[in-house]
């Protein structure tokens, strides 16, 4: 992605996260990014194309990071730990992206459905690891969907809350706190 497109992309993400997708106009994106409207339309046909790219790139980053980190792990509990660490790092580094996805996932419009699919796709990654961990005898045999949603919810919701109230976001401390809770909840 060239610098101009990256600038539009980053400014739009900040505005979408702060104001909401619907409340952000193309004019605001161009004003904040310092880009002419024609230049924006050269790179993106419509505002929705910016959102689509944000979702696509955000999920690709998350999935690739998870694949890299879990590939090195032999045990499924270690894979879950790796996924949680990736989730924490992505949430802290790309807070605006996470805010955008969460703020837009409720509703029936196409953008809401796309945001929901991103969250569900991530939870499916957790489900797959948990299923395999149960089959390997590492995890207790429980409701896989509920366990995966629980891991996601504990980690992401707690972290976002912590960030919103201005608490320190030391990744290692947060990770260690979440790991204790999650490992105890999954382990046999």
* pLDDT tens column, 68-120: 999 999 999 999 999 999 998 988 888 888 888 888 888 999 999 999 999 99
Q: Is it the case that residue 181 has pLDDT exceeding 80?
A: no
Q: Is it the case that residue 48 has pLDDT exceeding 80?
A: yes
H or E element in which residue 72 lies: none
CA dihedral 128, 131, 135, 136 (to 10 degrees): 60
Q: What is the pTM of this model?
A: 0.83
Pick the CATH number of 1-45 from 3.20.20.70, 3.40.50.300, 1.10.10.60, 3.40.47.10: 1.10.10.60
Cβ–Cβ under 8 Å, residues 60 and 66: no
pLDDT at position 20 is: 85
Q: Is it the case that residue 1 has pLDDT exceeding 80?
A: no
Say which CATH architecture domain 51-186 belongs to. Orthogonal Bundle (1.10)
């Amino acid at each position: 992605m060239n610098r101009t497109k990256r600038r539009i992309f980053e400014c739009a993400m900040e505005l979408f996260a702060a104001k909401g997708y619907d409340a952000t106009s193309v004019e605001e994106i161009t004003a904040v990014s310092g880009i002419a409207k024609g230049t924006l339309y050269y790179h993106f046909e419509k505002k929705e194309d910016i959102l689509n790219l944000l979702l696509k790139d955000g999920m690709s980053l998350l999935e690739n990071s998870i694949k890299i980190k879990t590939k090195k792990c032999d045990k499924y509990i270690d894979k879950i730990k790796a996924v949680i660490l990736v989730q924490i790092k992505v949430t802290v580094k790309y807070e605006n992206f996470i805010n955008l996805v969460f703020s837009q996932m409720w509703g029936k419009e196409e953008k809401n459905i796309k945001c929901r699919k991103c969250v569900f796709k991530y939870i499916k990654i957790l489900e797959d690891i948990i299923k395999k961990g149960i089959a390997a005898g590492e995890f207790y045999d429980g409701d896989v969907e509920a366990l995966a949603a629980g891991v996601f919810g504990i980690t992401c919701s707690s972290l976002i809350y912590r960030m919103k109230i201005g608490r320190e976001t030391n990744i290692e401390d947060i990770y260690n706190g979440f790991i204790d809770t999650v490992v105890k909840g999954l382990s046999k």
